Amino acid sequence: MYILGVNISHQPSTALFKDGELLWYIENERISKIKDYLIDEELNTRKLIPDCVDHLIIASFGSPMYDPKRIENVKNSVLHKNIYYDMYTHHKYHASNAFYDSGFEKCVAIVMDGYGAQRDSIHMNREIESTYLCSYPDNIIPVEKHYSVCDSDGTRQSFMIDNHIMSDGFSCGHMFAETCNKFGMNSGLDAGKIMGMAAYGGPSTKDPWFIDGIADNQVFLSELENVSTFEEKCNFAWKLQEETKRHTINYISAVITKYQPKNIVLSGGYFLNCVNNYFYLKEFPQINFYIDPIAHDGGTALGAAKVLWHSMTKDMTIRKIKNLYYGPSYDS
């Protein structure tokens, strides 16, 4: 059985599996030669979708504006009817990619990014932080969710719906995107440059950006607006690293207290922050951590295909990642 996962959001990608084994993974920019190239009408997806595919599953962060035309473009490249799409499963696919690669029989998965899928068709809030309980064959169960509209005028308003936090606070990933924009960089794609600048900065202001797990957008934006010199930018980048690290440590600590896991996997764009990732390892030495090497949206193509395989077959095989080479397999 051949299953192809296609991610149509940021870092668009395709991943082909045969009987649960990864044959190849590729990000579309490798073909288009255009960074973060999106799947729109002009892209010939036939180049990416082989004829042998039995099932195709589409991953996305759930965009009512862009998804329909991108999905139609992908559908036009296949001749079968076995196509799967769920616009509310973005963080699940992040979690599943990390879980199935980790080698753990069971674990807690924590996902943090700029924002993911909407909660439903009524609430515009999008998932920014999620916790899943994961076990074989296909149990990827959400137990904690924080949805936010990431409203720049947010006043830390929050409420609960079905044990889900609904707020207007910025996510950690969105804070990096706002900082990139202010510094004249390319939104979240240049977040690594902000991490680099942080090494040249140090403490400046003392006002916290997160209170009780919710970002105070007004304090954050007020400080960002007053940054102008290179030194001030470096100091701001340093604080951005420190504040998001502190928030994430608090989040992980709460998860450990509540669910008592031995194993935790981390995924979602924020966990590309390799500098802060080391602090989590030091802060919680009792936990076995696995950090998704493809924590950005490209990894959801892998996660979606893995979920589909395990849910269809109930396969209990653990396929721990052996190396970071995700290109064509040596047998193909």
pLDDT digits (tens, 9 = 90+) for 47-63: 556 677 889 999 999 88
Same domain, 306 and 215: no
pLDDT digits (tens, 9 = 90+) for 259-268: 999 999 999 9
pLDDT at residue 47 in the model: 54
Same domain, 283 and 185: yes
Confidence of residue 332 (pLDDT cuts 50, 70, 90): very low
pLDDT at residue 163 in the model: 84
Question: Between these two residues, 29 and 125, which has the higher pLDDT value?
Answer: 125
Amino acid at position 251, single letter? Y
Q: Is residue 93 part of a domain?
A: no
Per-residue burial over 219-235, b if 16 or more Cβ lie within 10 Å, else e, is bbbebbeebeeeeebbb
Summarize the confidence of residues 315-320 as an average pLDDT.
Answer: 96
Same domain, 125 and 205: yes
pLDDT at residue 330 in the model: 42
3-state helix, strand, coil in the chain (%, to 5): 35, 25, 40
Total of domains in the chain: 2
- Residue 41 pLDDT more than 50? no
Q: Is residue 98 part of a domain?
A: no
In angstroms, the CA 21 to CA 35 distance is 28
pLDDT digits (tens, 9 = 90+) for 70-127: 888 777 766 556 888 899 999 999 999 999 999 999 999 999 999 999 998 888 899 9
Same domain, 23 and 45: yes
How many CB atoms lie under 10 A from the CB of residue 122?
7
Same domain, 204 and 233: yes
How many CB atoms lie under 10 A from the CB of residue 320?
10
Question: Between these two residues, 197 and 26, which has the higher pLDDT value?
Answer: 197
Q: Is residue 53 part of a domain?
A: yes
Q: Is residue 99 part of a domain?
A: no
Same domain, 279 and 142: yes
In angstroms, the CA 236 to CA 222 distance is 12
**What's 305's domain CATH number?**
3.30.420.40
In angstroms, the CA 21 to CA 99 distance is 15
| H-type alpha helices, the chain | 29-32, 67-75, 90-102, 172-182, 191-198, 217-225, 230-259, 274-283, 299-313
Q: What is the mean pLDDT of the chain?
A: 90
Residue 109: which residues within 8 A CB-CB, separation 6 or more? 94, 95, 96, 98, 99, 130, 131, 132, 133, 134, 140, 264, 265, 266, 267
pLDDT digits (tens, 9 = 90+) for 206-216: 899 999 999 99
**Of 282, 265, 6, 245, which Cα lies nearest the Cα of 130?**
265
Confidence of residue 22 (pLDDT cuts 50, 70, 90): very high
Same domain, 75 and 224: no
State which residues form the domain around 22. Answer: 2-87+298-313
Same domain, 243 and 150: yes
Which of 81-95, 151-165, 290-304 comes out lowest in average pLDDT? Answer: 151-165
Confidence of residue 272 (pLDDT cuts 50, 70, 90): very high
Which bin fits 6, alpha (ψ -120 to 50), beta or left (φ > 0)? beta
Specify whether the CB–CB gap between 179 and 241 falls below 8 A: no
Specify the pTM: 0.93
Same domain, 180 and 264: yes
Q: Which two tokens stand for residue 100?
A: 């199935």
Confidence of residue 235 (pLDDT cuts 50, 70, 90): very high
pLDDT at residue 46 in the model: 52
Same domain, 306 and 276: no
Q: Is residue 323 part of a domain?
A: no
Q: Is residue 126 part of a domain?
A: yes
Same domain, 119 and 240: yes
Q: Is residue 95 part of a domain?
A: no
Same domain, 142 and 37: no
